[in-house]
Structure 1
Amino acid sequence: MRRTPAVLAALAALTALTTPAGASPPPPAPDRHPTVRFATFNASLNRGAEGQLVADLATPGNVQAANVAETIQRARPDVVLINEFDYAPGAADLFRDNYLEVGQRGASPITYPYAYVAPVNTGVPSGFDLNNDGQVGGGDDAFGFGLFPGQYGMVVYSRYPIDTARVRTFQHFLWKDMPGSLLPRDWYSGAEQAVLRLSSKSHWDVPIRIGRRTVHLLAAHPTPPTFDGPEDRNGKRNHDEIRFWADYVAGPARGRYIYDDAGRRGGLRPGSSFVIAGDLNADPYDGDSVDHAARQLLDHPRIATRVVPTSAGAPEAAALQGGANLDHRGDPARDTADFADGAPGNLRVDYVLPSRRLHPVRGGVFWPVAADPLARLTGVYPFPTSDHRLVWLDLRR
């Protein structure tokens, strides 16, 4: 979806921020090398019934949507992936028109001339009894868990042009076609394996033109590694959904098995710049993921991980909540999600991971301390916005 390309020149500098002090990210320091801010935010803009999100966004009065918009306005990313945004006709435009482009509680409006949305696997019936409960139907038997097609979808907003003609989607890639996958073949029948898709939502390669450079935003939202049994089918799927990107950016040898929804084979072209973003539902040290699945990316030789987004609010929350947080190995300052209502505690599950061809300058997690006025946007359970926090990273162009 393309909006008013004439404003692009005025937005191209996009280094100046107009957010107040506190939890909001600082403006980039004056530099002859301009930066671009990438962000990911699991905003919990999912609803329990089909069409409800469109109804909520049709007018500017939804409190949670306003909180999501204000969070984005305070952080002011140039490119942002929103996870858990139901796929529905018009929803992305409604959120942009009625919320992002309307100043929320003193925050400046933010304009994204470009956006990308596409179908996802959540809620799409598989026709099989994937959870082996003796019945066919319901969220557990969909290609990705969901009560209706498109629930828990994704959307990308950008201040820079999206090269829609070169977008690659991998919604239909079959799990069985990943060599050496963790697919539990003793759980799924042969007929189920023949149709079972790897992506619980989808994997998108969204090329964004930033000046003379194209940066590939690699967006996904792997399934949580829970809500299953001893077979650990969700944990194994989470691992392989993350592995997909590790293989995709590794070069021709590892990515040759990959095919997209248009039938084009292979991974990302060598030498391409990329940013992997999304709620990966995997912490590198704690939680329930298989073999600390996130490390497939964090230890990847083609991914820059020197700059790690942190916040002051996350360690404060971990100390106050205690419980499982007290036994965590990971640095609580790096946490991005507040799961304090029991195990596994707060975790780092949301990531912005650039290629080594890009140069991260600074990053952060929008998680203010309790005394910060902007803590009203994060809060405590039941959360006013989301149980996840927006994560941002500034990259040199």
Structure 2
Amino acid sequence: MDLERAGPGLLLRDLRRGEDAQIAAITHVLAQTQPDILVLQGVDYDLDLLALSALRDRISEGGGPRYEHLFARTPNAGLATGLDMDGDGRRGGPRDAQGYGDFTGQGGMAILSRYPVDQPGAQDFSAVLWRDLPGALLPLRDGQPFPSEAAQAVQRLASRGQWVVPVLLPSGALQVMTFHATPPVFDGPEDRNGRRNHDELRFWQLYLDGAFGPPPRGGFVLMGHANLDPEAGGGRPEALRALLADPRLQDPRPLRPGAAEPPLATVHWPPPGPGTRRVSYILPAADLSVTGAGVHWPPEGTPEGDLAATASRHRLVWVDLSLP
């Protein structure tokens, strides 16, 4: 949702002032779509969830659902390492954190739910080291670890987070598996970001294989921001394509309304950006019943379309499930 600000506390300030056009547009979109479980990507984190609580209040005041249950953990974004993590010879920059960020918590993740969240039962894999992933595609330069052996010894795999969070529905727990992968660009010939993006996505197949503990039991949904289109643009799409084809998952292929092209797009990055791409995904378990899916993308040039564009470059992706 691009709810990032330039410094800590600024999102909470904007939420409390009630004058921010983007926040107003977001509450309008959520009032229109009424999701029962909402996963946000790109929302600033604070320890006491003050900003998230204020956002929850703004959503309900604007006619959206009342989310009584909130979940967020400290993301890797902005988490200082004290090392040169991008190989530019300097330390302390936003690219030298565990995940890109000017301050700890910038652009984290959050879950807002109408149903209770099993906080003690949540699993946070955000501290898994990249080098501990089986078959990790760690970057090299001139045959040596890039940017250094010391950096690879502490580099976490997740650029923001990797969570498995049980949401307690009347029919039983639904495991919400969520992530936010790094953009596979903004690096050099060593392809550090492209390799990391690939492995952040491959983590989920390994998780389903049981490589990081027992795989999920019962219903589950993998949903997150891959920062990658399987057919267009740069990056290493093999891991994403493998996820989309995994028989344990199903791809409902949420469509934009009308005859808009490309029909599966979830974001529009204006020039000089890459344009319109599919980069956000909701992949329910293969045995769950999907009754509907789509991308909230009203026609451009209409009041509703203008509000959706003001809310975020990333459009809300939704899937309806029929549970026992």
Q: TM-score, normalised by structure 2?
A: 0.94
Pick aligned residue for 1:206 from 162, 165, 169? 165
Aligned-pair CA distance for 1:74: 0.8
Amino acid at match of 1:56: D
Name the residue aligned to 2:312: 386
Aligned-pair CA distance for 1:378: 2.6
- Please tell me whether the aligned partners of residues 41 and 224 of structure 2 are also in contact (alpha carbons under 8 angstroms): yes
Amino acid at match of 1:366: H
Name the residue aligned to 1:226: 185
Task: Indicate yes or no: 2:239 matched with 1:309.
Answer: no
Pick aligned residue for 1:101 from 55, 60, 63? 60
- Please tell me whether the aligned partners of residues 284 and 293 of structure 1 are also in contact (alpha carbons under 8 angstroms): no
Residues of 1 paired with 2:60 and 2:114: CA distance? 13
Q: TM-score, normalised by structure 1?
A: 0.77
Superposed CA RMSD in Å reads 1.5
Task: Indicate yes or no: 2:29 matched with 1:71.
Answer: yes
Alpha-carbon spacing, 1:267–1:68, altered in 2? closer, same or farther (3 Å): farther
Task: Indicate yes or no: 2:215 matched with 1:268.
Answer: yes
Amino acid at match of 1:234: N
Alpha-carbon spacing, 1:136–1:157, altered in 2? closer, same or farther (3 Å): same
- Superposed counterparts of 1:355-366, under 5 Å: 355-366=285-296
Name the residue aligned to 1:338: 268
For residues 171-197 of structure 1, what are the alpha-carbon distances to aligned partners after superposition, in whole Å with 9 as ceiling and x for unaligned? 211000011111114313222111110
- Please tell me whether the aligned partners of residues 248 and 285 of structure 2 are also in contact (alpha carbons under 8 angstroms): yes
- Please tell me whether the aligned partners of residues 42 and 109 of structure 2 are also in contact (alpha carbons under 8 angstroms): yes
Task: Indicate yes or no: 2:142 matched with 1:183.
Answer: no
Aligned-pair CA distance for 1:267: 4.3
The alignment covers a number of residue pairs equal to: 317
Residues of 1 paired with 2:233 and 2:42: CA distance? 21
Residues of 2 paired with 1:100 and 1:149: CA distance? 25
Amino acid at match of 1:385: A
Aligned-pair CA distance for 1:213: 1.7
Aligned-pair CA distance for 1:388: 0.6
Aligned-pair CA distance for 1:371: 5.2
Name the residue aligned to 2:237: 291
Helix, strand or coil at the partner of 1:215: strand
Name the residue aligned to 1:300: 246
Residues of 2 paired with 1:168 and 1:335: CA distance? 30
Residues of 2 paired with 1:312 and 1:341: CA distance? 23
For residues 114-136 of structure 1, what are the alpha-carbon distances to aligned partners after superposition, in whole Å with 9 as ceiling and x for unaligned? 11011001111111111111111
Pick aligned residue for 2:14 from 33, 56, 65? 56
- Superposed counterparts of 1:91-170, under 5 Å: 91-97=51-57, 99-103=58-62, 108-170=63-125
Amino acid at match of 2:322: R
- Please tell me whether the aligned partners of residues 101 and 110 of structure 1 are also in contact (alpha carbons under 8 angstroms): yes
Alpha-carbon spacing, 1:225–1:267, altered in 2? closer, same or farther (3 Å): farther
Amino acid at match of 1:154: M
Aligned-pair CA distance for 1:396: 0.9
Alpha-carbon spacing, 1:207–1:159, altered in 2? closer, same or farther (3 Å): same
Helix, strand or coil at the partner of 1:125: coil
- Please tell me whether the aligned partners of residues 222 and 281 of structure 1 are also in contact (alpha carbons under 8 angstroms): yes
Alpha-carbon spacing, 1:109–1:72, altered in 2? closer, same or farther (3 Å): closer
Helix, strand or coil at the partner of 1:346: strand
For residues 87-139 of structure 1, what are the alpha-carbon distances to aligned partners after superposition, in whole Å with 9 as ceiling and x for unaligned? 01301101111x11112xxxx33211111011001111111111111111110
- Comparing 109-118 with 221-230, greater Cα deviation is found at 109-118
Aligned-pair CA distance for 1:51: 1.2
Aligned-pair CA distance for 1:312: 2.8
Residues of 2 paired with 1:150 and 1:267: CA distance? 29
Name the residue aligned to 1:282: 228
Residues of 2 paired with 1:174 and 1:235: CA distance? 17
Amino acid at match of 2:204: W
Task: Indicate yes or no: 2:282 matched with 1:352.
Answer: yes
Residues of 1 paired with 2:34 and 2:64: CA distance? 9
Helix, strand or coil at the partner of 2:167: strand
Helix, strand or coil at the partner of 1:179: coil
Aligned-pair CA distance for 1:210: 1.1
Aligned-pair CA distance for 1:343: 4.9
- Please tell me whether the aligned partners of residues 45 and 84 of structure 1 are also in contact (alpha carbons under 8 angstroms): yes
Residues of 2 paired with 1:309 and 1:390: CA distance? 10
Helix, strand or coil at the partner of 1:58: helix
Give the share of equivalent positions with the same residue, in percent.
38
Task: Flag the structure with more relative contact order, 1 or 2, with Cα contacts below 8 A and sequence separation at least 6.
Answer: 1
Residues of 2 paired with 1:355 and 1:210: CA distance? 16
Residues of 1 paired with 2:75 and 2:268: CA distance? 25
Q: Runs (4+) of structure 1 moved beyond 3 Å?
A: none
- Please tell me whether the aligned partners of residues 79 and 104 of structure 2 are also in contact (alpha carbons under 8 angstroms): yes
Helix, strand or coil at the partner of 1:165: coil
Residues of 2 paired with 1:212 and 1:309: CA distance? 25
